[in-house]
Amino acid sequence: MRATLAPLLLALAAWTIPACGGPEHDLVVYASHDQEHSEPIIQMFEELTGLTVHAQYDVEQNKTVGLVNRIRAEAGNPYADVFWNNEIAHTIRLKEAGLTQPAESEATRTMPEEFRDSEGHWVGFAARARVIMYSPELLAARGAKLPPNILDMSASAYAGHGGLARPLTGTTLTHFAVLSQKLGRERVLQWLHNSRETDLSYTNGNATVMRRVCQNDFPWCLTDTDDAAAAVANGYPMQVVYPNQTENLRGTLLIPNTVCMISGAKNPEAAQQFIDFLVSPEVEEYLAKSRSKQIPLNPKVTLNLPPEDLPLPYRDYEVLAVDWEATAAELDVVQDEFQKLFIQ
Amino acid sequence: MPSPLRHPAALQGLAVLIALGLVIGPLGPLLWAVLRGDAITQLSEPRVALVFWRSVWMAALSAGLAVAVGLPLAILAYRTRIWGAELLAMLMPLTLLLPPLLMAQGWNGLTGWDGLWASVFVLGMCYAPLPALLASRALRTQSAAAHETALMLGGRKLALREMVRTARPAVILGASLAFLFAITDFAVPDYMAALGETFGVYPGHVYTHFRDDDYWSGARAAAPLVLLCGLVLYLGLWARDHWGAEEVGSERQAQSMDWGRQTALTSLIGWSLLSLTLLAPLVRIVYELGVAGPEAPGTWSTRASESVQAALDRGREDIGRSFRNGAMAGGLALLLAPALAHLLVRTKGWCGRSIMTLTALPLLAPGVGYGMGAISFANRPGWSNFYQGTGLVVLVFAGRFLPIAVFLLAERFRSVPRSRDDAAVLHGLSYPRRLIQVFVAPQASAWLLAATLVVVFAVRELDLAILLPGANQSAAVRYFNALHFARDGFVAAFGLLIAILLFLPVMAYAAWTSLCRRDD
Amino acid sequence: MTNLALDLRELHCSFGDRQVLHNVALQLEAGDRVAITGRSGHGKTTLLRVLAGLQDADQGELKLHGRIAMQGGQSTLAAWERSLQLVFQDLGLWPTRTVAQHLMDALAAQGIRGAKAKQRSAETLKALSIAELFDRKPSRLSGGEARRVALARALVSRPQLLLLDEPFASLDAESRADGFALLEQVLAESNAAVVLVTHDHEEAKQLNGRILQLNEEGQLR
């Protein structure tokens, strides 16, 4: 027995001990994006610059928003240089907490003003739109109609046929923070309260609500364009409507990816290079043509895609104007209220 | 020549110090929150109390279900002659290798069940192997004399009752562990609540607080859960100590019981129970490999093969890293667990149970809390190599899952006759020698199983993988990332691949035990 | 009196509320043999464990060959420093070690290793007529063989005091007689004092020494 154990332990040691040191790198990137897309982009950056990136990824399962937690926990001795967030609210909250630093450049200034921080702490790119995805077949079979705008989703005529993610995390939380900031907190809370009485379905995430429409549980849902694109890529005959909202809420909400430099980053030059690279037309074009069909924001991007394949903001639909700083502040307050409503 | 090595205190003290370091380092603030009494006061808020007590009864039901399925499964697979008993015994632990969320998706896809009761059911099935595995160890040590006497006096009915009696202490502990895992699981209730009737569970409250504010807020929210889990574990150990009976009689082990004409029926029951805990959801997961909408190109098989290929291409390196980190954590557990298990076995009464409960703290605390604690402990100027390297990952993973190894070994060490240890003391064997010769070597298979379980749980761990730099590029992060971004085929293929690879250490363990048997 | 092999005085030992040994005293010179009888549960094994240093008592003084081994019930000399050995009722053989390894482990603790240890082990096994068991593990020994191995392990380090806990209790009369003959033979070559505990009066007689009784009150008469 001893003769068997000794080589086993030696082999284990030979396999494991060399890995005990940390990896050599020129830049640390925290990326809370689809790993399948972020990995090749980081690789492209490495090939282009010759720099080595230590990438760290996130998941939204368990509602931890782990990398944001980690940046907060590491505040005294930052490990990350850059945070690539697949939404915006948490980036602004990091800025409010003093955990980011300005990272403006020629490249970042090419992005539209409404999608970058006035002090240069963050910049948005490659957005997702909040849309209504529906199954035409099931809608017809049920004799149901699509809600004309977001606020009408809770009306009894529509609610029983649709669903959305609970506004506790991710883009749905951001969406409801925007609504709260624009329409008033009381009105949004009342809306959520009413919606639960009119049988609007709530799920734990945008992907889940999309799946439920694919499984014919109900004919429509409020979700993100990347989830709707995933449904179509998986062979489900889904259609998408870009809701134009109401008088008070003109336009469809776009939620961009955001990138920021962490305060006290140990590799600021490489970090700036990476930020510039992310907002470049090449990366936005790559993400637009990927399965998730992220919406390019850089005016220099020239896509040869027809509108039915990827409708573009301003050209094909109106965009809701958002004060992101105010939205992030609102989010801090309403999140507790939403939790009280949904975690019961 | 007297030597300090002959005294257990030095080695046991070292192992305790390391284990305490792994507990107190990352969990200091959480323990402080418990000690300050915050654990109780926050439950005065009706909404929090409602969610907390719901979690308690849900987990209690899941633990009960785990016993109801796990104990018969253990008896049928390990102690009776049914068709394919060995294969059944080998497949049974596989459930523990699958992420519970994957099981939930499998069951939902198969039956359409959702909501609160589906969550209770799935968690019961996920953790049924815990009482089953612990019971199987106890069942194997039942003395032949006790079993045969029961068989002669009261037939199969009494023999079965005796088996249950023999397994009872281990089952109580297994049920406690199932309760702990069920009450701290958030992914399954969250998923089931998203599909059907909405309900909240306490881990949701804990995660929310870890996200929103500082670590203290999360620690405070986690405190009631940790306190409750500690109490349950203590009571489980107390029940085992008070209701358990040590086997007396010959060292000859009882043989498997023959079912005669009832073999077909009992075999059907055994395999049906395994279908509940493993086979049925697994079949559905396999189906998910190539499932797609009506307009998707290709056939099921071409899509399935693409999914598997993608899983192999994209996930290979992550799986390698996860296994390497897990193996190192398992290796550390191999070194630390025997001394701790021996200390626990030799420390009787409330003191022993308290040490055991304290040792289990990293397992009882939410992973996110343990990970955040590890960051605040290890992320210091000048420590960057340690912080970003594998060393921290190994310490943290080993710290979190060491209790599993220690518990399992302590259960086995408890059955070692005291005279063997006394003989070693009388002959002046050094403590490390005594530990190896009297306890570890005769229980080598349990020692390796303990380390294997540490590997398995380390590979499955998500919260710590997100939070620790050296653990981030891992199979768990890639799996859940793909799940979040709705890559269904990839998720099914990657989940299966991880499960199959996790099964390898279990098979290695089975090979080892057969080697040991041949050696003896 | 200072050269007593064993000098035990005023030993009191209890488990919780139950007093198992009450004011026990025992003196043995080198080569003395004493058999202690008593019913099951009357503290016979506890007495041996206290003598061996495996367990503390509530009160009592013990000297072994003039060295203080216990004071006020607390052990002052570790079990392995007492020059004694104990043959356990259930033998306490180590399942993964061969017979030879059992003996060599015992010798290694005394600093005897390598060829010398191997030779001494072989001689002891031969003396006990079990030389052929050298490479066997306990799982492949018969009950009688295992008993001889346990005895060989105890004797190989040439202890000055041998403690026997019902060593032949489960054997038939003939095997037990053989066992005592064997014990007689090995003890003839040493000057070790022997304490044997048993519930069987016949077994006690076969030791050919003093016979004392441990009564229900935990007193030695």
CA distance B74 to B142: 13
CATH number of B1-26+299-520: 1.10.3720.10
Q: Which chains touch B (3 or more CB pairs under 8 A)?
A: A, C
Residue A16's pLDDT is 59
**B424 interaction partners in chain C (CB closer than 8 Å):** 94
ipTM exceeding 0.90, yes/no: no
Which of B252, B419, B430, B517 has the highest number of chain C CBs within 10 A, making it the mutation to test binding with C? B419
Residue B141's pLDDT is 77
A308 beta partners: none
Name the 3-class secondary structure at C163.
strand
Who's near A87: CB < 8 A, 6+ residues apart?
A170, A171, A174, A255, A256, A257, A258
In a domain, C50, yes or no: yes
In a domain, C167, yes or no: yes
Under 8 Å between Cβ of B97 and B456: yes
Helix (H) or strand (E) holding A131: strand A122-134
Under 8 Å between Cβ of B444 and A1: yes
Q: Which CATH number fits domain B37-246+262-288: 1.10.1040.10, 1.10.3720.10, 1.10.240.10, 3.90.650.10?
A: 1.10.3720.10
Give me Rg for the CA atoms of chain A: 22
Q: B1-26+299-520 and B37-246+262-288: same fold?
A: yes
CA distance A217 to A225: 20
User: Which residue is closest to C104 within chain B, CA to CA?
Assistant: B427
CA distance B293 to A293: 19
Long-range pairs, B210-216, Cβ under 8 A, ≥24? B210/A64, B210/A69, B210/B366, B210/B368, B210/B369, B210/B372, B211/A63, B211/A64, B211/A65, B211/A68, B211/A69, B212/A335, B212/A336, B214/A72, B215/A73, B215/B29, B215/B369, B215/B372, B215/B373, B215/B376, B216/B29, B216/B33
In a domain, C143, yes or no: yes
Q: Which of C84, C92, C96 sits opposite B423 (nearest CB)?
A: C92
User: What digits encode the pLDDT tens for the residues C172-189?
Assistant: 777 788 788 888 887 887
User: What digits encode the pLDDT tens for the residues B141-167?
Assistant: 787 777 887 888 878 889 899 899 888
For chain A, the domains span 25-127+256-309, 129-253+329-342
Residue A205's pLDDT is 82
CA distance A193 to A197: 7
Under 8 Å between Cβ of C136 and C96: no
3-state secondary structure B87-110: HHHHHCCHHHHCCHHHHHHHHHHH
Is B9 within 8 Å of chain C by CB? no
Q: Which of B345, B326, B354 shows the shortest CA–CA distance to B458?
A: B326
Under 8 Å between Cβ of C12 and C73: yes
Tell whether the torsion through CA atoms of A150, A152, A155 and A159 is positive or negative. Answer: negative
Question: Quick one: pLDDT band at residue B99, thresholds 50, 70, 90?
Answer: confident
User: What digits encode the pLDDT tens for the residues B207-251?
Assistant: 777 765 466 777 788 888 888 888 898 888 887 777 765 554 445
Amino acid in position B293:
G
Residue B507: pLDDT over 80: no
In a domain, C118, yes or no: yes
DSSP A296: P
CA distance B388 to B391: 8
CA distance C195 to C207: 9
Length of chain A: 344
Amino acid in position A286:
Y
Residue B249's pLDDT is 43
Residue C15 exposed, middle or buried by CB count within 10 Å (0-12, 13-18, 19+)? exposed
Helix (H) or strand (E) holding A54: strand A53-57
User: What digits encode the pLDDT tens for the residues B168-219?
Assistant: 888 998 999 899 999 988 889 988 887 777 788 888 888 777 765 466 777 7
**Token pair belonging to A236:** 């489900």
Neighbours of B65 (CB within 10 A): 22
**A63 interaction partners in chain B (CB closer than 8 Å):** 186, 190, 204, 207-208, 211
In a domain, C60, yes or no: no
Under 8 Å between Cβ of B256 and B79: yes
Residue A6's pLDDT is 63
% chain B with pLDDT above 90: 22
DSSP conformation letters of A68-97: HHHHHHTTTS---SEEEESSSHHHHHHHHT
Residues with pLDDT less than 50, chain A: 1, 61-64
Q: Which CATH number fits domain A129-253+329-342: 2.60.120.260, 3.40.50.300, 3.90.1150.10, 3.40.190.10?
A: 3.40.190.10
Where residue C94 sits, what CATH number does that domain have? Answer: 3.40.50.300
Question: Quick one: pLDDT band at residue B2, thresholds 50, 70, 90?
Answer: very low
User: Which residue is closest to A97 within chain B, CA to CA?
Assistant: B213
CB contact under 8 A, C81 and B437: no
CA distance B478 to B471: 12
In a domain, C67, yes or no: no
CB contact under 8 A, B422 and C88: yes
Whose tokens are 């702490």? That residue is A121
Residue A344's pLDDT is 66
Amino acid in position B512:
W
Number of domains in chain C: 1
Length of chain B: 520
Longest Cα–Cα distance in chain C: 52
DSSP B473: S
Q: Which of B366, B318, B360, B329 shows the shortest CA–CA distance to B464?
A: B366
Is B441 within 8 Å of chain C by CB? yes
Residue A22's pLDDT is 60
CB contact under 8 A, B210 and A226: no
Angstrom distances, CA of residue B353 to CA of B238, B335, C6: 7, 22, 39
CB contact under 8 A, B442 and C139: no
Under 8 Å between Cβ of B278 and B70: no
Is B249 within 8 Å of chain C by CB? no
Residues with pLDDT less than 50, chain C: 1
Longest Cα–Cα distance in chain A: 80
Range of the domain at C94: 32-54+79-213
Residue A18's pLDDT is 56
Q: Which of C206, A169, A26, A235 shows the shortest CA–CA distance to B190?
A: A169
CA angle, A107 then A110 then A115, to 5°: 110
Q: Would strands C18-28 and C6-15 be described as parallel, antiparallel, or unpaired? A: antiparallel
For chain B, the domains span 1-26+299-520, 37-246+262-288
Q: Which of C92, C109, C157 sits opposite B419 (nearest CB)?
A: C92
End-to-end CA distance of chain C: 21
Residue A268's pLDDT is 96
**A69 interaction partners in chain B (CB closer than 8 Å):** 210-211, 368, 372, 467
Residue A286's pLDDT is 92
Helix (H) or strand (E) holding A202: strand A201-203
Q: Which of B194, B368, B466 sits opposite A59 (nearest CB)?
A: B466
User: Which residue is closest to B417 within chain C, CA to CA?
Assistant: C92
Neighbours of B285 (CB within 10 A): 22
Is B208 within 8 Å of chain A by CB? yes
**Between these two residues, B263 and B462, which has the higher pLDDT value?**
B263
Angstrom distances, CA of residue B155 to CA of B72, B139, B145, B147, B167: 18, 18, 14, 10, 19
Under 8 Å between Cβ of C14 and C22: no
Neighbours of B350 (CB within 10 A): 12
Return the exposure string of C138-168: e unless at least 16 CB atoms fall within 10 Å of the residue's CB, then b. beebeeebbbbbbbbbbbbbbbbbbbbbbbb
CA distance A220 to B101: 25
User: Which residue is closest to B439 within chain C, CA to CA?
Assistant: C94
> So what CATH class is A25-127+256-309?
alpha beta
Question: Quick one: pLDDT band at residue B31, thresholds 50, 70, 90?
Answer: confident
Query: Angle C99-108/C143-156 helices, nearest 10 degrees?
Result: 20
**Between these two residues, B336 and A222, which has the higher pLDDT value?**
A222
Under 8 Å between Cβ of B372 and B210: yes
CB contact under 8 A, B190 and A204: yes
**Helix residue spans in B261-389 (DSSP H):** 263-274, 280-288, 300-346, 349-359, 361-364, 367-378, 384-388
Tell whether the torsion through CA atoms of B466, B470, B473 and B476 is positive or negative. Answer: negative
CA distance B400 to B390: 15
Q: Which of A57, A65, A234 sits opposite B481 (nearest CB)?
A: A57
CA distance C8 to A196: 83
Residue C126's pLDDT is 87
Residue B366's pLDDT is 78
CA distance C181 to C167: 13
Residue B450: pLDDT over 50: yes
DSSP conformation letters of B353-412: HHHHHHHTHHHHS-HHHHHHHHHHHH--TT-HHHHHSHHHHHHHHHHHHHHHHHHHHHHH
Residue B479: pLDDT over 70: yes
Residue B519's pLDDT is 52
User: What digits encode the pLDDT tens for the residues B407-425?
Assistant: 888 878 888 888 999 999 9
Q: Which of B208, B283, B190, B277 shows the shortest CA–CA distance to B483?
A: B190
Is B314 within 8 Å of chain C by CB? no
